[in-house]
């Protein structure tokens, strides 16, 4: 059975923590491929300023260059509007009816899973891989969600930290892939969507 990982998020911008999470998930669950699925607009981050979708896609493509088992899936951006995970997982279930689907989330999202759109259906479409933040304890998955806690590779970096450093004129060289750092030096700040 094919084992596919899906990693949704704003990726505003993508950073090394994202890549390490994907690597951990792929290694710990023997995933054949990991799809990075950037949101058009997160239902939980409405009103938060984010880089233009074309820039977030470009940074993801730069970060994943040369990694044949990882790919960017722009379906949520192409669909536009508010992105709902259940819509994406429904589409994957149709495209890969025999595959085992694993959805990667940060531990901070676990308590809110029952509030996600069509939560009961969502819980049936994929197993959830929970990534704890360094030094934090993750809450258990609420029923009917199923999944497991990843060991992960602890790295206390976040997109908000990267954005804050960029706004302060500080380097992000060791926080994001080098090609992304070069792009951010040239393109930050950009018009928002």
Residue-wise pLDDT tens digits, 130-159:
988 777 778 899 999 999 998 876 666 778
Is 176 part of a structural domain of the chain? yes
Is 48 part of a structural domain of the chain? yes
Is 192 part of a structural domain of the chain? no
3-state secondary structure labels for all residues of the chain = CCEEEEEEECCCCCCHHHHHHHHHHHHHHCCCEEEEEECCCCCCCCCCCCECHHHHHHHHHHHHCCCCCEEECCHHHHHCCCCCHHHHHHHHHHHCCCCEEEEEEEHHHHHHHHHCCCHHHHHHHCEEEEECCCCCCCCCCCCCCCEEECCCCCCCCCHHHHHHHHHCCCCCCCCCCHHHHHHHHHHCCCCEC
pLDDT of res. 153: 63
* CATH number, domain with residue 104: 3.40.50.620
Query: 192: pLDDT confidence band, cut at 50, 70 and 90?
Result: very low
Is 36 part of a structural domain of the chain? yes
Mean pLDDT comparison of 4-13, 105-114, 162-171, 182-191, highest-scoring range = 4-13
Is 193 part of a structural domain of the chain? no
Count the domains in the chain: 1
Is 18 part of a structural domain of the chain? yes
pLDDT of res. 134: 72
* Mean pLDDT to the nearest integer, 112-133: 94
Where in the sequence is the domain holding 98, given as residue range(s)? 3-187
Is 43 part of a structural domain of the chain? yes
């Amino acid at each position: 059975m094919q084992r596919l990982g899906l990693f949704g998020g704003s990726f505003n911008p993508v950073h090394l923590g994202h890549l390490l999470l994907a690597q951990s998930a792929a290694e710990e669950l023997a995933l054949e491929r990991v799809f990075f699925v950037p949101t058009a607009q997160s239902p939980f981050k409405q009103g938060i300023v984010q880089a233009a979708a074309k820039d977030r896609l470009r940074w993801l493509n730069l970060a994943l260059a040369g990694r044949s088992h990882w790919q960017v899936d722009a379906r949520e951006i192409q669909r536009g509007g508010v992105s709902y995970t259940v819509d994406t997982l429904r589409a994957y279930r149709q495209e890969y009816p025999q595959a085992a689907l694993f959805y990667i989330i940060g531990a901070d999202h676990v308590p809110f899973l029952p509030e996600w759109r069509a939560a009961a259906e969502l819980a049936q479409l994929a197993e959830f891989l929970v990534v704890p933040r360094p030094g934090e304890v993750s809450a258990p998955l609420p029923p009917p969600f199923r999944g497991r806690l990843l060991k992960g590779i602890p790295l206390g970096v976040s997109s908000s930290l990267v954005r804050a450093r960029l706004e302060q004129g500080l380097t992000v060289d060791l926080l994001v892939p080098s090609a992304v750092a070069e792009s951010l030096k040239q393109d930050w700040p950009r018009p928002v969507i």
